[in-house]
Structure formats: structure tokens, C-alpha cells
Homo-oligomer: A and B are copies of this chain.
Amino acid sequence: MRKKESTDYANEQSLFQLCERNSAISMISGRWKGQIVYYISQGNDRFHLLQQKLPNISETVLARQLKELENHAILVKREIPNTVPAGIKYILTNKGVDLVPILDSLCSWGKLYADGKKIIVPAEKRTIAIAETEVELIP
């Protein structure tokens, strides 16, 4: 559990207060969270389906990540009626659904540069007298 007297905790809280960017990042910063949200959005909405998709995750860890996503209201658990043993479905809330395209854009961003897009340092802004370049040079 979190130590509320630690410097780390205080720093985290002050960043959360400063801007929602920081709490948003922390909500998606678990080892498996982005992938879990993605898989649920694709219809893999059962515990055992997620385990199949993520063969290296342990039950304990999967349960923990799901619980954290639930605490952040990104998903909810629903019992499936008339199933035995009682089945549970994980459903993205509107908040979770809204997150999916943002994760997608993070994905494309990462992919673009992983696939070899050149890293450059954008030219520094200068005040250039554009007018001069626009003079037509008619011979």
C-alpha cells in the first residue's frame, strides 16, 4: 500500500493537482494496462480470454491490473446471469471507450518512429524577412 508520508507520494499528488495530464498518464502506466484495455475493446471481455491473449500474465497480476482499471472507472465488472460458475464480464465505461483512440494514437506515434521515421531537430524559430524571398526575379 501507498505511504502517504513519502516524498514520492507528495510529488505525485502535486503533479496530479498541477495538471490532469499527470493523473491520466498514471492511470495507464501499469505494465499490462494499455494492452488489457485494448483487448477488452476488441471483445475479449472475460478473465480467461484475457489470460489466453496474455499467456505470460499470472492470475494474481491480471486481477490486480483489472482492479486498478476499475478503481479509475475505466471499466466495470458485471456478473453474467445464469452462468455456473458465476461468469464475470469486463466492460469499458464511456471513460474507457474514450481512452481507446488516445491509446491508438500513442501506438501510431510509437510505430512511426520504430519503423524508421527520421529523428530530426526542428529548425529553431527565427524572424525571417519573408518579403525578400517573394520578390519575383524576371530576367
Contact = CB atoms under 8 A, between A and B. Distances in A.
A114 to B, nearest CB: 6
A35 B21 contact: yes
Contacts of A5: none
B24 A25 contact: no
Given A121-B91, A121-B93, A122-B94, A114 B56 contact: no
Count of this chain's copies in the oligomeric assembly: 2
A11 interface: yes
Given A107-B21, A121-B93, A73 B113 contact: yes
A18 interface: yes
Interface of A: 7-8, 10-12, 14-15, 18-25, 27-29, 31-35, 38, 56-57, 73, 76, 78, 91-95, 97-99, 102-114, 117-122, 124
